[in-house]
Chains A and B, each alone.
Chain A
């Protein structure tokens, strides 16, 4: 870790972090504010849902129809889109650019001619990317927590909330690691933003399709979205060992692979 580079990178990425955090937090808060309205029109909505195919409900992120009328189910479905989808897009965009932008921005020669090792550059930049993702998650979780407190209709158990928040962080960090790996594999110095966003979307829809079709075999597990347990209303819901191990193990592998390649690669100029 290099302190000078760390401060520089933190400054360079601050504007983007603030923007994403504000947008996602606002979306979470405003969407949660509709929960009371949903409850107000519960009967009508329930009636409408009867004629909506079950797959459409699942596609929207609800495990079952009744989740719409529980604050935790309502939050989880929205969290899936705002934090698991948008947060992952932020994480992969940030991490895929944090090393590569020095190369396509033609600043790499200035950075790498300083007395600093490749390891220092790699881990400092990765740390900044992960720190930004962590800050986004903490603030978004805090906004979610406050929103639930404000808009809940009954007392609720917050344990599932913290579990789903942790899964969301794991998912975002996994996409962050994937972005770094993609960036070091590039043979040309150009941004990979479009490819990375497309990758997140494809994996998200792969998971959605697997849920809708009810195919819960190995097919669905290609997507890391499948590794997140969103059934917050199920009794005994909690952090599962295999899911945590899958996330942390994959993150570690992706980082180790990316670091190994970065130490050996020619800088693109």
Chain B
């Protein structure tokens, strides 16, 4: 059953495009990665889902409810971490969390607050104005999770968090997901969601270019290869399978995307004279260009 469904959603800001004819569905219980470069339309989509902005055309439903007409009901069952928002600076962390909680009916609320504060190692007595960017992000995450929402919408939630806290955060998200929370995770870094999400949608210039199971992406195992030969060579002459479009610098320096077997590649190169070889994780943009150009 789909928990979230987006149908032909469009948003224009005056004459400029936000998102265009966006279609997407997220199954209940999924951990869904929503990936795209900055300005691709990720936050626009999320803001429409929460009725912070209105769609120009199209529709979206969460829990089977319309995001414009039934936004209050949807928000009572949803938690949201904005990508770039400020928290009321004059309040203390605990006062803010209690203020947030007062909007919901939550059992054992103090226990829940204490548990989240412990996970994120946050001092509840501090004023929000005095917190670092990372600590403010922790407050933002806690306020979204405090009422045990059925759907968590996270817009770039890890920016500012140190690796240790990021790891605890992902563990916590897995725990929440096991208890039935669906997670919609927006990020511009594929590597961040690759190990965490079950499904990933790729958005570029306001359009969905692909929706893939992470398992399928993993099977593709795309690598970025750079080879420096002492003299000009044509890589295709080596008969290696899985070489994408190659860029060549006078035939001596070759850069290409590789989706074949690394063993096969190394085996074939072993018999060649090479000056340098590098195998890298490709950037998100490079993966997109490889598969979806």
| A residues lining the B interface (CB < 8 Å) | 4, 8, 12, 105-110, 112-117, 264, 266-267, 269
Do B52 and A110 touch across chains, with their CB atoms under 8 A apart? no
Residues of A within 8 A of B54 (CB): 264, 266
Do A107 and B52 touch across chains, with their CB atoms under 8 A apart? no
Residue of A nearest to B43 (CB): A269
**Bound complex: CA of A106 vs CA of B143, how far in Å?**
16
Do B52 and A4 touch across chains, with their CB atoms under 8 A apart? no
What are the interface flags for B44-61 relative to A under an 8 Å C-beta threshold, 1 for contact and 0 otherwise?
000100111110000000
**Bound complex: CA of A108 vs CA of B104, how far in Å?**
18
Among A105, A112, A117, contact of B52 (Cβ-Cβ < 8 Å): A112
Do B52 and A269 touch across chains, with their CB atoms under 8 A apart? yes
Do A114 and B84 touch across chains, with their CB atoms under 8 A apart? no
B82 within 8 Å of A (CB atoms): yes
Among A4, A8, A114, A269, contact of B75 (Cβ-Cβ < 8 Å): A114
**Bound complex: CA of A117 vs CA of B73, how far in Å?**
10
Q: With A107-B86, A110-B88 given, can you name 9 additional A-B contacts, CB distance below 8 Å?
A: A4-B102, A105-B86, A108-B52, A110-B140, A112-B52, A113-B50, A113-B82, A267-B47, A267-B53
Residue of A nearest to B140 (CB): A110
A211 → chain B, closest Cβ, in Å?
Answer: 43
Which residues of B77-116 have CB atoms within 8 Å of chain A's CB atoms?
78, 80, 82, 84-88, 90, 99-100, 102-104
Residue of A nearest to B105 (CB): A115
**Bound complex: CA of A113 vs CA of B73, how far in Å?**
11
Do B72 and A117 touch across chains, with their CB atoms under 8 A apart? yes
Do A107 and B50 touch across chains, with their CB atoms under 8 A apart? no
Among B52, B80, B85, B103, contact of A106 (Cβ-Cβ < 8 Å): B85
Contacts A109-B52, A110-B143, A269-B47 known; A116 to B72 CB distance under 8 Å?
yes
Q: Number of B residues whose C-beta is below 8 Å from A?
A: 27
Q: Which of A113, A115, A267 has the most CB of B within 10 A?
A: A113
Do A115 and B103 touch across chains, with their CB atoms under 8 A apart? yes
Residues of A within 8 A of B75 (CB): 113-116
Residue of B nearest to A8 (CB): B99
**Bound complex: CA of A264 vs CA of B76, how far in Å?**
21
Residue of B nearest to A264 (CB): B54
Do B52 and A113 touch across chains, with their CB atoms under 8 A apart? yes
Residues of B within 8 A of A105 (CB): 86
**Bound complex: CA of A108 vs CA of B88, how far in Å?**
10
Among A8, A12, A109, A116, contact of B85 (Cβ-Cβ < 8 Å): A109
**Bound complex: CA of A87 vs CA of B143, how far in Å?**
38
B222 → chain A, closest Cβ, in Å?
Answer: 35
A254 → chain B, closest Cβ, in Å?
Answer: 23
Do A115 and B104 touch across chains, with their CB atoms under 8 A apart? yes
Residues of A within 8 A of B53 (CB): 266-267
**Bound complex: CA of A153 vs CA of B94, how far in Å?**
57
B97 → chain A, closest Cβ, in Å?
Answer: 12
**Bound complex: CA of A264 vs CA of B103, how far in Å?**
23
Do A110 and B103 touch across chains, with their CB atoms under 8 A apart? no
A122 → chain B, closest Cβ, in Å?
Answer: 14
**Bound complex: CA of A106 vs CA of B82, how far in Å?**
10
Do B80 and A109 touch across chains, with their CB atoms under 8 A apart? yes
**Bound complex: CA of A237 vs CA of B99, how far in Å?**
50
Residues of A within 8 A of B72 (CB): 115-117
B89 → chain A, closest Cβ, in Å?
Answer: 8
Residues of B within 8 A of A269 (CB): 47, 52, 84-85
